[in-house]
């Protein structure tokens, strides 16, 4: 029976350990000689079985790779809880930054298996990237940056992104550039040809579909050519190699943070009105469709699609957070206008094209707001005009007014705007 290369006092039950530990330090891979109990330091056990017509005992080598890999797949309850907690922590950290317009969050679903870190050294030939100290799968922020930079360059070079505005200047401002002699200049200034970008890319913590990772198989069959230099042909011995993947339908949350003051110095136009967010969204969408994330993207791994339902929820939460951040500095009169707009917007969504009768709740709210603005001594002229604009824009959307002009006249909207 295969064992892990750990001290005996740790025992043999590692079911509560993280996938990263079960795939790495606690991997039960190393072979044992069944008769002597000797540790072989091979990836196979040596057993003896009676086989054949004569039931003669024969020595057999039983590979441990598949069983060892299967042992690392399962995510226990603590692993799933930790993944969810990491996602909540990222959301909590992102909310105040997003409210300032300095962060973009885009949620995606994997539509193909996702894998990364295959180049990490491992006895099973292909490694996997686990986030320390949690031992859970992740996509490093550096990997996100590399894919998005390529997506941005493709949009700029092929002029697919004319509507989004990608060009070389935007790529440099947001992603930076590396000069030929950037190591020679301590400050990374213009003389070195090096420039940091305004964007920071957070690590991506996938929320796994189900309760286990999956195993995929690659089967190279021309090792005689690649390793020995022999003439390539199609009759080479197949060599199945298993590797870990995150299953399709797993959820990925991409967070991209922007240093707005720095971007305003580099490219003022990109720092205004969420322009940088539009560009990054276009690059992410392009990467989902054409590039993929992680390893083996050339054969379809790492493909994703925007999670529309989750994204709509996140966008609403962001808008609400931005609104609450603005409300902190509002005067009571401004809060009254904002409360009216929020209430009418919510009613408009409920009605789905319908309208309330006149002199019902929201008509009365409009009357109350107009009266408060007219009679309020502490209301400024601009605030009164803003109240009139809110009533004029929203009241007809939720209340069926027989005569709109007459209704506005009764609400004295002209007087609110300072007109006679």
DSSP 1-62: --B-SS-GGG-S--TTS-HHHHHTTT---B-BBTTT--B--SSEEEEEEEETTTTEEEEEEE
Checking if the pLDDT of 207 tops 60, the result is yes
Q: Tens digits of per-residue pLDDT, 261-290? A: 999 999 999 999 899 999 999 999 999 999
- Write down the pLDDT at residue 184: 42
Distance CA 164, CA 145 (A): 18
pLDDT band at 237 (very low <50, low <70, confident <90, very high): confident
- Write down the pLDDT at residue 164: 59
Calculate mean pLDDT across residues 306-321: 85
Cβ atoms of residues 203 and 141 within 8 Å: yes
Cβ atoms of residues 136 and 205 within 8 Å: yes
pLDDT band at 163 (very low <50, low <70, confident <90, very high): very low
Calculate mean pLDDT across residues 363-381: 94
- Write down the pLDDT at residue 349: 92
Ranges 147-151, 185-189, 375-379: which has the least confidence: 185-189
Checking if the pLDDT of 181 tops 80, the result is no
Calculate mean pLDDT across residues 29-52: 90
- Write down the pLDDT at residue 317: 79
Ranges 9-23, 178-192, 204-218: which has the least confidence: 178-192
- Write down the pLDDT at residue 420: 66
Q: Which residues pair with 89 in a beta bridge?
A: none
CA 372 to chain CA mean position, Å: 46
Q: Tens digits of per-residue pLDDT, 386-397? A: 999 999 999 999
Length of the chain: 420
Calculate mean pLDDT across residues 169-181: 84
- Write down the pLDDT at residue 185: 41
Ramachandran angles phi, psi of 207, nearest 5°: -95, 110
- Write down the pLDDT at residue 180: 55
Calculate mean pLDDT across residues 70-97: 93
Checking if the pLDDT of 249 tops 50, the result is yes
- Between residues 322 and 4, which one has the greater pLDDT? 4
Percent of the chain scored above 90 by pLDDT? 67
Percent of the chain scored above 70 by pLDDT? 94
- Write down the pLDDT at residue 158: 76
Q: Tens digits of per-residue pLDDT, 316-342? A: 877 887 788 888 899 999 999 999 999
Ranges 145-149, 294-298, 315-319, 406-410: which has the least confidence: 315-319
Checking if the pLDDT of 191 tops 60, the result is no
Mean pLDDT of the residues in the chain: 89
- Between residues 74 and 321, which one has the greater pLDDT? 74
- Per-domain boundaries in the chain: 8-70, 75-321, 330-416
Calculate mean pLDDT across residues 182-186: 43
Checking if the pLDDT of 186 tops 60, the result is no
Checking if the pLDDT of 182 tops 70, the result is no
pTM of the full predicted structure?
A: 0.77
- Write down the pLDDT at residue 162: 44
- Write down the pLDDT at residue 188: 47
Checking if the pLDDT of 195 tops 50, the result is yes
- Write down the pLDDT at residue 179: 63
> Helix, strand, coil shares of the chain as percentages rounded to 5?
45, 15, 40
- Write down the pLDDT at residue 269: 93
**Can you list the positions of beta strands (E) in 202-358?**
214-218, 241-245, 251-258, 304-306
Q: Tens digits of per-residue pLDDT, 92-131? A: 999 889 888 899 999 999 999 999 999 999 988 899 999 9
Distance CA 95, CA 252 (A): 17
| Rg, C-alpha atoms of the chain | 31
């Amino acid at each position: 029976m295969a064992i892990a290369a750990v001290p005996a006092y740790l025992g043999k039950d590692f079911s509560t350990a993280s996938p990263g530990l079960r795939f790495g330090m606690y991997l039960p891979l190393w072979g044992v000689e069944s008769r002597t109990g000797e540790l072989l330091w091979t990836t196979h056990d040596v057993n003896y079985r009676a086989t054949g017509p004569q039931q003669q005992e024969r020595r057999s080598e039983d590979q441990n790779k598949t069983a060892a890999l299967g042992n690392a797949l399962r995510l226990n309850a603590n692993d799933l809880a930790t993944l969810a907690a990491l996602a909540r922590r990222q959301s909590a950290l992102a909310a105040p930054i997003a409210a300032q317009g300095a962060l973009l969050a885009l949620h995606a679903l994997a539509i193909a298996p996702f894998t990364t870190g295959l180049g990490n050294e491992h006895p099973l030939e292909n490694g996997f990237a686990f986030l320390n100290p949690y031992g859970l799968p992740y996509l490093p922020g550096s990997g996100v940056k590399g894919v998005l930079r390529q997506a941005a360059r493709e949009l700029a070079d092929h002029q697919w992104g004319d509507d989004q505005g990608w060009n070389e200047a935007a790529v440099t401002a947001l992603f930076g550039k590396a000069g030929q002699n950037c190591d020679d200049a301590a400050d990374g200034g213009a003389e070195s040809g090096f420039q940091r970008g305004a964007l920071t890319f957070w690590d991506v913590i996938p929320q796994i579909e189900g309760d286990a990772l999956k195993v995929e198989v690659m089967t190279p069959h021309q090792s005689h050519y690649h390793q020995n230099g022999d003439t390539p042909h199609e009759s080479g011995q197949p060599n199945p190699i298993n590797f870990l993947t995150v299953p399709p339908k797993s959820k990925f949350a991409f967070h991209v943070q922007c240093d707005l003051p720095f971007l305003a110095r580099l490219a003022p136009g990109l720092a205004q009105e969420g322009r940088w967010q539009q560009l990054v969204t276009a690059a992410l969408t392009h990467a989902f469709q054409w590039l993929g994330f992680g390893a083996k993207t050339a054969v379809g791994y790492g493909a994703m699609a925007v999670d529309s339902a989750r994204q709509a929820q996140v966008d609403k939460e962001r808008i609400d957070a931005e609104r609450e951040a603005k409300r902190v500095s509002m005067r009571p009169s401004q809060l009254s206008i904002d409360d009216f707009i929020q209430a009418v917007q919510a009613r408009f969504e409920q009605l789905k094209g319908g309208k309330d009768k006149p002199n019902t709740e929201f008509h009365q709210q409009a009357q109350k707001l107009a009266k408060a603005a007219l009679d309020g001594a502490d209301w400024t002229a601009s605030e009164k005009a803003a109240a009139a604009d809110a009533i004029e824009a929203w009241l007809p959307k939720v209340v069926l007014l027989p005569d709109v002009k007459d209704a506005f006249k009764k609400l004295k909207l002209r007087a609110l705007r300072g007109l006679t």
